[in-house]
Structure 1
């Protein structure tokens, strides 16, 4: 691999463990590839949901809410209600 050759040419006196650095970079690159694959799968699910008549924007909001604890949800709801009142939206 060309990157490996470049690493072999790196000066040894930099105080950097090039082998370890190379391994870390490669692990991150593999995970980034996996993450891209997962993101594509999630997009496919949202597209499927949309084709079945569901609204992906609302589904995303539901997923965000499910990650929050109930206190955070209640606080956000109260602020949303307050802001809407202040803007004459209710």
Structure 2
């Protein structure tokens, strides 16, 4: 296999130059976002603790949050199916 010396030189320049800077930038951005996500997760945990202290059921709050993210028609369909399944099981 013949190696083209010009390509080797260009690859080395890209590795140590612009491409390396771009890679570093991407990695650092992801790392910053992961830190932000970690901080937000801590904030959310604190809010759930506050809700629990106030006497709210955290599991139910999480279900409501999940439902609010869905389309109304999708929620209605799930509730209808849940009702049908309950009736089928005599609940």
* Residue 37 (structure 2) pairs with residue 39 (structure 1): no
CA RMSD of aligned residues (A): 1.7
Based on CA coordinates, which of the two structures has the bigger radius of gyration? 2
| Cα separation, 1, equivalents of 2:85 and 2:68 | 22
Long gaps (5+) in structure 1: 1-11
Task: State TM-score, norm by structure 1.
Answer: 0.78
User: Which residue in 2 is equivalent to 1:81?
Assistant: 83
Structure of greater relative contact order (alpha carbons < 8 Å, 6+ residues apart): 1
Long gaps (5+) in structure 2: 1-9
Task: State TM-score, norm by structure 2.
Answer: 0.77
Q: Quote how far apart the aligned CAs of 1:87 are.
A: 2.6
SS in 2 for 1:32: helix
Instruction: List, as ranges, runs of 4+ consecutive aligned residues in structure 1 with deviation greater than 3 Å.
Output: none
